[in-house]
Chains A and B, each alone.
Chain A
Amino acid sequence: MKEPTVDSVTCLEVQDALREDWAGAPGQRLEGAEPLPVAVTFHIEGCMTCRGMAEEIRRLDRELGSSLEALASGIEAPSQERIDDTLRRLSEEDPAARLLRKLKRPLRLVLWGTLYAFTLLLCSVLAVALYKAILTQGR
């Protein structure tokens, strides 16, 4: 098999591979990441620009891991009290649903009332219009 050289892959291909590698690896510092292809590793060793990018991504990955872990460490798993409270509130009726249920009957009455009044008004207007039309034709 032919030995890879720095030029076996281009800088663009290497930089894409580095980004792909970072996105494809689970968080917490590239644990379980697949090793980079030999040609890419070879290119990185011989190319200053790509080596710089690889180091920058590795450093950023480490910094993101430790900073976000530190931030998350200030937020603990839910306490037993919090879990119990959530489950208790879950077993109660949703306040929004309760309010909706309370409002349902008066709301229905208002809606039907409005519809009834509107229909009555429409019928009256039509009746008057019809009466006027008959009168005009009679003359």
Chain B
Amino acid sequence: MANTYLRQTPLAHLHLDARAANEAADATTGVHIGERLLLGMINLRGQRSNPDFGPAVKKVVGAALPGVNETSGKPEGVHVLGLGPDEWLIITPTGEEADIHANLERVVGEFHTAVTLTGESMTVIRLAGAHARDTLAKGCPMDMHPRVFGPGQCAQTILARADMTMHQTADDAYDIIVRRSFAEYVWTWLEDAAREYGVRVITGLR
């Protein structure tokens, strides 16, 4: 049995709860920014060409394996991001990752696969609001116009020189998945970039 420890998000020291309580959003707020706390993440590698692989994963995860840069499942529940032709990121609500990881290992163990828990190394920043896209576009080299990038799509790219995985969860909402060590940098960059649109911190995101 592993020792328990105080699990903290990489942005805990910014005291976002206190800031959210003191700064209420109003009609002029163009960007809402918050951290989705301690989500579980599982990196899955496997061969899609094997016809039994996809269905086996779906049985455990509850969502089909999406294509590259596509997603499946609901953003608030267990969902899967297609990172590459043979790589997926499974994101789960807090605490659900261990069971899914164990079940996945059991079910796909017979295939040529790798199943790795990676949640502790990442965090998810939620950016929402009418100007969320404008804010991201300032530091991202990707074309984010709705004609090429829309809800349900994801992409691995760069935000202000930091690697990120971006998942558009709704018309005006994005989940930004960044490394733990980049979290504070990306957060402060985003807040600065969103300042001209009016930015407010939101908490309680799961």
Say whether A and B bind each other.
no
B-to-A contact residues, CB < 8 Å: none
A-to-B contact residues, CB < 8 Å: none
